[in-house]
Structure formats: structure tokens, C-alpha cells
Amino acid sequence: MAQIVAAVTTSHVPSIGMAIDTGITQDPYWKPLFDGYLPAKEFVKQLAPDITIVVYNDHGLEVFLDRVPTFGVGAAAEYRSGDEGWGPRPIPPFKGDPDFSWHLIEHLVAQEFDVTMFQELSVDHGFTVPMSVFFGGAAGEVDEWPTRVVPITVNTIQFPLPLAARCFKLGQAIRRAVDAYPKDARVMIVGTGGMSHQLQGERAGFMQPEFDRQFLKKMVDDPIALTRISNGVYMKEAGHEGAELIMWLVARGAMNMQVREVYQHYHVSASLTAAGLACYVDA
């Protein structure tokens, strides 16, 4: 039987990937961030998930504004880093698990989540940076990713975005689908994006540590309160791209109501983003 063994969450700033790929993680600007990632990497190493579900938003690589699925699930045998303008990242391809993906898709549709099915999908920083944060190392350290992956996309780009409550329910539906998978598999779910940040407009550079701290606390002890926050309020309080935090709620929804936070790290800033990370197991 498959089971979800942990949920982990992290920001997905592109320059975090650049810092890994160019070997500058120990530079003074980056060192505090990467030092903070070490316990999370150790946690994931010990956990050794067979399958990792990565909940992320495509930022215009595969999904452009003319066609935007609210939710999508990858069903490919392999996913490669796409070219977001600087060339594909120098990382190995990610192995998929089509059997598990189709099982997820069937069970999500049966639970009234009518997801888009991606039989081909290249992945952007929203996916690759969290994978590097939790599984990667210095440039070139990873020859092969130690887990199979399933990308799940969430629209956080084009209005209207799915509600936070809907994202949490998607996580609950993913949990039921995983529990119903007949083969043995240890599954980790990753929620990506956030925390507070805004990339454009008059408030570019906006960050809100107090909001983020409250969010981190409620992820543990009152996630339902976070599902009641409207996307407009997420954007006002955490910056426009801070609304990416709804993807953390997909991961949280896949866990028990009671969780234990194994590790948390928060660092202001990585690029324009207040970079948060947390690891949770069922209590």
C-alpha cells in the first residue's frame, strides 16, 4: 500500500537554482539560506521517498495566458528542465511514474477534480528549484534523482485562481488517492512557492515577515483558518506572488489534521522573496 510519509514546503525562487548551478551557495549572500536548508535535506535523505509529488505553478513555460488549466497532473515517463530564457538547468531529467500518475488522475476525477492531464511536460523553476533544495547538492552532485516524481500544476498566474479552500481539498483528495494505490510506495508531497513576495508594480519587493510567521504557525495548528483567506487578501497581505502560498495548502491538505513540524527555516530575502521552508509529518 502506498502512504504519504511527509509534506515539505519551500519557496521556489529561480536564483536559488542559479546559485546551486554556478557553485556560489557558500557566498555571503547565499550561505545563510543554504545552511538553513541542510537539516531539511538530511530529513528528506532519511525519509527516502519512492515517489515525490511536487505541487507547483508553471510560470509561462508550458502554460501561457491563452490556455491555463486550474489544476494539472503530469503523466509522463520523464520530465526535463525547460528553458526559461537562460537555457535549461544543468540537472538530470526527472523520472516519472505513469502508473501512479494515472491512478492519481483517475481517483482525482472520481472525486470531482477534473484535472488537465499532461502526457508531456517540461518543468520550470517552480518544480526544479524545490527538487534541488530537498534532493540536490552542489552543482553536478546529483547524477540521478533518488525519487520518481509527479508534477501537479496549480494556476497562480491568471485570474481567477483556485480558492485556498479548494487547494486544501485537492490535497485531501490526493491523500485518499494515495491511500487507495495498491502498490507499496512511500510518497512525499511538496508544496512550493511563497512566502511573501511581489515581483512587479509599485509594491515590487514587498515582503511581510509577520504575515509569513503567522502562516507558518497556522500551517501546524490551524490550517483551516488559512483556507478561509481569500486570494485578494493573500495578495494584499503577502504580495501579489505571495498568493502562491495556496500551493502549500495542497500539501497540508494531504496530511492529517494534526501534524508535527519537524523543521522550519525562514530567511529574508532570496532575491525578491521571503524564503520559507518547512517539513511536516503526521502527528
User: Site residues (CB under 6 A) for ligand DHB?
Assistant: 12-15, 59, 193, 197, 199, 241, 271-273
- For the bound state, the minimum distance from the C-beta of residue 275 to ligand DHB, rounded and expressed in Å, comes to 8
- For the bound state, the minimum distance from the C-beta of residue 156 to ligand DHB, rounded and expressed in Å, comes to 9
Q: Which three cell numbers mark 32?
A: 545563510
Residue whose CB is less far from ligand DHB, 10 or 52: 10
For residue 84, the 8-state DSSP code is S
- For the bound state, the minimum distance from the C-beta of residue 133 to ligand DHB, rounded and expressed in Å, comes to 13
**Is 82 in a helix, a strand, or coil?**
coil
Residue whose CB is less far from ligand DHB, 111 or 271: 271
Residue nearest to ligand DHB (CB): 271
Residue whose CB is less far from ligand DHB, 175 or 197: 197
Tell me if 272 sits within 8 A of 238, measured CB to CB. Answer: no
Residue 118: φ, ψ to 5°:
-105, 105
- In the set 125, 240, 265, 267, the catalytic residue is 125
The amino acid present at 68, given as its one-letter code, is V
Q: Tell me whether residue 265 is one of the annotated catalytic residues.
A: no
Nearest to 6 by CA among 256, 267, 264: 256
Residue whose CB is less far from ligand DHB, 15 or 172: 15
Q: How far apart are CA 76 and CA 88, in angstroms?
A: 18
**Read out DSSP for 205-244?**
T---HHHHHHHHHHHHH-HHHHHTS-HHHHHHHH-GGGGG
Tell me if 255 sits within 8 A of 219, measured CB to CB. Answer: no
- In the set 103, 107, 197, 265, the catalytic residue is 197
- For the bound state, the minimum distance from the C-beta of residue 57 to ligand DHB, rounded and expressed in Å, comes to 8
Q: How far apart are CA 20 and CA 273, in angstroms?
A: 17
Q: Tell me whether residue 197 is one of the annotated catalytic residues.
A: yes
Nearest to 185 by CA among 51, 47, 48: 51
- For the bound state, the minimum distance from the C-beta of residue 199 to ligand DHB, rounded and expressed in Å, comes to 6
Residue whose CB is less far from ligand DHB, 52 or 273: 273
User: Which residues form the catalytic set?
Assistant: 125, 197
